[in-house]
Structures are given as structure tokens and as C-alpha cells.
A and B are shown apart, each in its own frame.
Chain A
Amino acid sequence: MAKQTFTTGQVLTAAQMTSLQQTAMGGGSTTAKTASYVLVAADAGTVVQMNSASPTTITVNTALFAAGDTVEIQNMGAGVCTVTAGTATVNTSSTLALKQYDAGTLYFNSTSATVFFAADAADGASPLTTKGDLFTFTTVDARLGVGANDTVLTADSAQATGLKWAAAASSSITFTTWTPTLTNITVGNGTQVARYGTSGKFVIAQYKLTFGSTTSFGGNIKITLPVAPAYGAFTAFGFTQDVGVASYYLVGETDATTTVSLNTLKADQTYLKDTGINSTTPFTYATNDLINIIFTYESV
């Protein structure tokens, strides 16, 4: 029975009384709809029941209802029925999109403001269905199914939930090449290998120079690192080889930038002391001799 204003002395019929009783008990007359619908004043105190296989809307406008009026919305159809604010405002703590067999009540606080109280317990319930599911949120509560084995949860703003399962970052190191800047070395027809790899901020690099017949050293030798070190100076180790004769320790000593001086160790009374390598130190370099050094450090 639609809301109406009774008058003094009015006599209600049995049908009217039954309808009033239904309304009082939360039932009331039902208006069936099969397409999108705009609420009218006569819907106050009734049930508007949508039944459509396609998505529909029920629009709420101002100046039709009074404070305290209610309209129950039910969706019987497979198509989602969305309660839509027309000229009135519609607030809810749940969702205004009603799935099949979902329902709720519009309660008017004024002629222009209403609150939708969802009746479907599932609206506030967990969406989780499967082992490993995560409870996330899009514009509504949402389920994120468990990822493949060994994947990790990763933030991704392009996803509806802002999350995705992705392969874990590889802990292996992939090597690539770099071209160092050399000081006091003219490679000529020598052969260089300059490769480095990173894992996070960990850097490992190798520099190897095999002398050709026209490779030459000037004064003390320096080369540059592939990536700047985080904390300035550090020491690297390697060897320099007088092929077929002997090998000598090679010590790389960085300055505060990316430049490394290559030194060898020299007996100096009690202790070994570093000394720069050059064309005659620690031996007279010739074809096929080599220097080989490994750097490990934290990058900036």
C-alpha cells in the first residue's frame, strides 16, 4: 500500500488493512519492473522489484519523498540493478550495485538525501572462495586469487585491485659489458674484457687486458668502474701475469669517484707496500702478458 494521508473518520477496508500490515511487517505492495526505472512519490512505503537479465538502474530524485519515507529495492534478475542518484543524494556504506537476489532499503533523511541500507548480508561479507585468496578492494570488496607457485605479490596501479602476482625478481646476476676509460694505457692491438653484473646494489665487475704487440703503459695505470661506488674508496684484487714466468698480486684502489688505480705489492721491510704498475713494474710487459682484476662493491 503506497503511503497516503488518512482523514478523520476514514474507514479502511480489509484489503487496505492487510496491505498496511504487510508494510508494517516489512513487506508491502510490490511494483515489478523489467527495465530501468525512476522512483515516483507513490513508491514510498512499497517494494520496487527489478527483474531484468540486463543491467538496469533505479534513479532517485528530489522533492518526491519526505523525511522518514522508505522504499525497498529488490533485484530478482540476473542483470545488476544499480541504485543511482538522480537529483537526490544517495549514500551507503555498502554497494549501490545490486546483484541478483540482492536488496536494500532507501531511507530518506530529507526530500533530497537518502541512505541505502543494503539488506544482503553478502555485501559486507568476505568475497573469498578459494584457498590462498586475498581480500582486496577495487571500488568494492574484491577477491584476488592466489598466484602461481613462487610468484610474489606486487603493487601495480594498472590493476583494478592495485595488486598482482608476479615472478620474483631473479637473484641471479646477468652480466653486460662496459667500456672503461683508461689512463696511461694505450691498448693498441691488445684485447680487453670488461664485464659487470648487478643484483640490487651489489656490483661485481671484471677487467682483463691481454697485451698485444703494440699495447703500452705509460705511468701508473688507472681505469674507471662501470657504476659509481656507494661509499667511496674500496679495494679490489687480481693479478698481473708475466706469461710463462710469474704472476703478481694486483690491488685496485679506488678514489672517491669511479677511478681505480692498479698497484702491485712490493716488499718493504716488514710489510708489503703497494706500488703502481707501469711498463717495467712489476716486470717488463710484453705481448700476451695480462692484467686481470675483479671488483665487488655496493653501488650508489
Chain B
Amino acid sequence: MTTKNDLIAQCKAENPTMISVINDEQIELTGADYEKACNDWAEMRLTQIKLENELKATQAVKEAAQAKLAALGLTADDLKALGL
């Protein structure tokens, strides 16, 4: 399972230097700004990964249910017809 520290390390490995641009002016992030950028990105990625995993789990449950229906020779329309 990916941890926040793993993601921070990944961010630093992929971005040994970090350039922010505002209105065509380039600003290199260093020190606390650099650390904050990596930290915040790691937190965001954790949130996104969690959501992605939840979606995958939901999709897996759905696909399993559809497989069971198919094994019984039923479809989702059959369930609707039954008022389910």
C-alpha cells in the first residue's frame, strides 16, 4: 500500500528541481516551498488513489453481480421487470 512518504519520495525523485511559472515569470521552488509542494501533492495523490480504489472496488462488485446474473440467465432488465 502506497504511503504518503512513498509519494513524497516519488515527487522528489521525479522533480529534483521545481519551477513554478506565473505570468511568464519562472520561480524555482526551494526549501520550505519545495517541501510543501511535495507534501501537498502527496496528500492529493493519496486522496485520488483512495477514490480510485473505491471506484475499482465498486466496479468489481458490480461486475461480480452481473456475472452471477448471467450465470442464472438473467439480465438487469429482468430485475427491473421484477421491481428490484
Instruction: Give the interface of A toward B (CB within 8 A).
Output: 177, 179, 186-195, 212-218, 278-280, 284-285
| Chain A residues with CB below 8 A from B41, complex form | 186, 188, 214-216
Q: How far is the CA of A186 from the CA of B8 in the complex (A)?
A: 14
Q: How far is the CA of A218 from the CA of B48 in the complex (A)?
A: 11
Contact status A194-B40, CB under 8 Å? no
| Chain A residues with CB below 8 A from B18, complex form | 188-189, 214
| Chain B residues with CB below 8 A from A218, complex form | 40, 43-44
With contact pairs A188-B29, A188-B37, A189-B15 given, residues A216 and B22 touching in the complex (Cβ less than 8 Å): no
Q: How far is the CA of A194 from the CA of B25 in the complex (A)?
A: 11
For B46, the closest partner residue in chain A by CB is: A279
Interface of A is mostly: loop
Q: How far is the CA of A41 from the CA of B30 in the complex (A)?
A: 93
Interface residues in B5-51 (C-beta closer than 8 Å to A) = 11, 14-15, 18-23, 29, 36-38, 40-41, 43-45, 47-48, 51
Q: Does B78 contact A (CB under 8 A)?
A: no
Q: Which of B19, B21, B22, B48 sits near A280, CB closer than 8 Å?
A: B48
| Chain B residues with CB below 8 A from A191, complex form | 20-22
Chain B 41-79 interface mask (CB, 8 Å, partner A; 1/0)? 101110110011000000000000000000000000000
| Chain B residues with CB below 8 A from A188, complex form | 15, 18, 20, 29, 37, 40-41
| Chain A residues with CB below 8 A from B15, complex form | 188-189, 213-214
Name the residue in A191, A216, A218 with the highest tally of chain B Cβ atoms < 10 Å from its Cβ.
A216
Contact status B23-A194, CB under 8 Å? yes
For B40, the closest partner residue in chain A by CB is: A186
Contact status A189-B19, CB under 8 Å? yes
For B12, the closest partner residue in chain A by CB is: A214
Contact status A193-B29, CB under 8 Å? no
Contact status B51-A192, CB under 8 Å? no
Contact status B23-A195, CB under 8 Å? yes
Q: Which of A179, A195, A216, A278 sits near B40, CB closer than 8 Å?
A: A216
| Chain A residues with CB below 8 A from B38, complex form | 214
- What 9 additional pairs, Cβ within 8 angstroms, besides A186-B40, A188-B18, A193-B23? A187-B37, A192-B21, A192-B22, A212-B20, A213-B14, A214-B15, A216-B37, A278-B47, A285-B44
Contact status A186-B23, CB under 8 Å? no
Smallest distance from the beta carbon of B16 to chain A beta carbons, Å? 11
| Chain B residues with CB below 8 A from A214, complex form | 11, 15, 18, 37-38, 41
| Chain A residues with CB below 8 A from B21, complex form | 190-192
Q: How far is the CA of A244 from the CA of B38 in the complex (A)?
A: 26
For B44, the closest partner residue in chain A by CB is: A216
Smallest distance from the beta carbon of B18 to chain A beta carbons, Å? 5
Contact status A187-B47, CB under 8 Å? no
| Chain B residues with CB below 8 A from A177, complex form | 22-23
Contact status B23-A280, CB under 8 Å? no
Contact status A216-B51, CB under 8 Å? no
| Chain B residues with CB below 8 A from A217, complex form | 44
Smallest distance from the beta carbon of A293 to chain B beta carbons, Å? 16
Q: How far is the CA of A280 from the CA of B23 in the complex (A)?
A: 26
| Chain A residues with CB below 8 A from B52, complex form | 284
Contact status B44-A192, CB under 8 Å? no
| Chain B residues with CB below 8 A from A213, complex form | 14-15
Q: How far is the CA of A186 from the CA of B36 in the complex (A)?
A: 8
Contact status B23-A279, CB under 8 Å? no
| Chain B residues with CB below 8 A from A280, complex form | 47-48, 51
